[in-house]
Structure 1
Amino acid sequence: MKQVGLSGSARSAAAPDKDPMASLLARAEARERRALLSLTLPGFILVFVVLAVPLGWLFWLSAFDTNGALTLDNYLRLLRPVYLSSFIITFQMAFCVTAVCVVLGYPLAYLLSQLPERASQICMAFVLLPFWTSILVRTYAWLVLLQRQGVINNGLLDLGLIHEPLALVNNFFGTVVGMVHVMLPFMVLPLYDRMKNIDPLLMSAAANCGATPAQAFRQVFFKLSLPGLASGITLVFVICLGFYLTPALLGGGRVSMWSMKISDTIALYGNWGAASALGVALLVATVLILWGMRKLFGLNEQGRNR
């Protein structure tokens, strides 16, 4: 009984020693949380102001007509043939541009990843060269090159390869060319980053196991580069959905992208509600595409294959 009493008194004596330490730890954690909150709060406010508020205003405007009355007509008009046709053209354009960027970007990224470091950096500077020039200047440059009296047509005529100028601009083809020029770096960069991190010894190991160079590339290198390819495809496709300037100039009014419909609805008719509904439709389509591509390519939050 006396031992029990002693052990109980010992515990009661030790308790005051632990309480100050626990209190100090709690106060330190509270200060850390307040410091973390003070650092992240400006970022949250910025995101709310520049993203959440405009998106909320977009959804709000889409629910009203030009007279300020609540209506669903802004969304019902999306079922009209002129808008459905524009929606289809937008996705066709995004698909074609993405496909061409894959065909051109994958070999280019592979070549860059296999070059020595110095040569790779020099070539990468040329890949990034379009970022140093305004998209308006690049688009007008293609307009000059692709026109009927442009450099390309004149060169083909001088070589005798054609007998009359080709229609290379003010159509679907010219728009694809201009958009590929803009979007190709967005395909090359994630591919190059992924390929550069692939261990060359893996290819040697595959060769030692009896695989041919083609088999080693297909079974090892290509599969390891798929996350970069998936990121590039997603990035290019989604950005293409919102393209405006290049289709407007190189399409000559014959390529009606969804973004151009939004602009025309505001500029020609002053119908902000209908334009907002078009924007909401594009936003929803983009989110669904991002979700679908993530499921299709089996990517996790870090952009790696699961």
Structure 2
Amino acid sequence: MFSPTTLLILPALAIMLIFFVVPAITILSRAWTDYQAPQVGGWDNFTWFFTNTVNIRILVRTFAVSLLVTAICLIMAFPFAYLMTLVSRRWLVVMMTAVLLPFFTNYLVRIFAWVVLLQDNGLVNKLAGVFGIGPFEIIGSTFAVAIGMAQTLLPLMILPLYSVLQGIDRNLLRASESLGASPLKSFTRIYLPLALPGMLAGSVLVFVFGLGFYLTPAVLGSPQNSMLAQQVVTQVQDLLAWGRGAVMGMVLVVVTLLLLAVAMRFARGAVSAAYGIR
């Protein structure tokens, strides 16, 4: 009845169904079954979310912070990944170890390390004082949240970017320069377009993962710059408003999928143009 391939896939599908799909559907169904006064039924939870300016502001802030973190990671990851394609095998192992090392470090330890570094009397402010500037109130700011998130998500940008960059034939750059193009023009017109798939893959990973961050904004941020995941926890854990929390989660998922669909549509055109595909 079932092919060998199907039989191999069925256990994984069953695990996904039991431990992910069913709980997710159960939680999301609370949007229409669990209400807090003055909501009474129907689409009241959705009405509450979209008519509350605070909720909209937090939603926009969540996407803005994720976009900022994506930009920071891309700016930091590209030179690093590019250098990985130039160094010897020994140095490549060292650089790859540096990329993977955060995965072997406790997440809470990394967050509290940033608290120590960024606090009012921390190392960053002490260094700023040496140069006669500061002190700065970094902890509790969006900047602190972005730095903490970027440090965690940076490997997700470097790895797909490196996998693409190492496959680019550098003879293309030499050929371009032999035909009279400057190194900068060869880089912007040939190398950068060929690197676009890796940039897009890493950006999508960082952006999507950044939308669901809770602990980093909770520790390094403040209630004034909270993100949507923090509000979901507040609604569900503190207020027991499961319906409102489900609506927040559903809105985040739907808006994310819409933005990704639009981004991928433009990305497909950009990649096709880079590779000369019509």
TM-score calculated relative to the size of structure 1: 0.83
1:137-196 CA deviation, whole Å, 9 max, x = no partner?
A: 111000110001111112222x2422x521111111111111111111111111111001
Q: 1:75 aligns with which of 46, 50, 66?
A: 46
Query: What fraction of aligned residue pairs are identical, expressed as a percent?
Result: 32
- 8 Å CA contact retained: 1:58, 1:280: no
Residues 35 and 41 in structure 2, CA contact (< 8 A), matched pair in contact too = no
Tell me, yes or no, if structure 1 residue 125 matches structure 2 residue 94: no
Alignment partners' CA distance in 2, 1:49 and 1:293: 31
The amino acid of 1:248's aligned partner reads A
| Structure 1 contact 109–188 (Cα < 8 Å) conserved | yes
Letter in 2 for 1:77: W
1:41 corresponds in structure 2 to: 10
Deviates more, 1:196-205 or 1:238-247: 196-205
Specify the alignment match of 1:247 in structure 2: 217
**Number of matched pairs:** 270
Match of 2:106 in 1: 134
Unpaired segments of 5 or more residues in structure 1? 1-29
Query: Which one of 182, 194, 199 corresponds to residue 152 of structure 2?
Result: 182
How far 1:51 moved relative to its partner? Answer: 2.8
Deviation at 1:199, TM superposition (A): 1.3
| Contact 2:28–2:246 (8 Å) recurs in 1 | yes
DSSP 3-state at the match of 1:114: coil
Among 190, 193, 197, which residue is 1:227 paired with?
197
The equivalences for 1:45-56 within 5 A come to: 45-56=14-25
1:15-39 C-alpha deviation (Å, 9 max, x unpaired): xxxxxxxxxxxxxxx7xx4333322
Q: Which has the larger radius of gyration?
A: 1
Unaligned runs of 5+ in 2: none
Q: Is the 8 A contact 1:147 1:168 kept in 2?
A: yes
**1:91 aligns to what?**
63
Q: CA deviation at 1:222?
A: 0.8
How many Å separate the matches in 1 of 2:222 and 2:53?
Answer: 21
Structure scoring higher RCO (CA < 8 A, sep ≥ 6) equals: 2
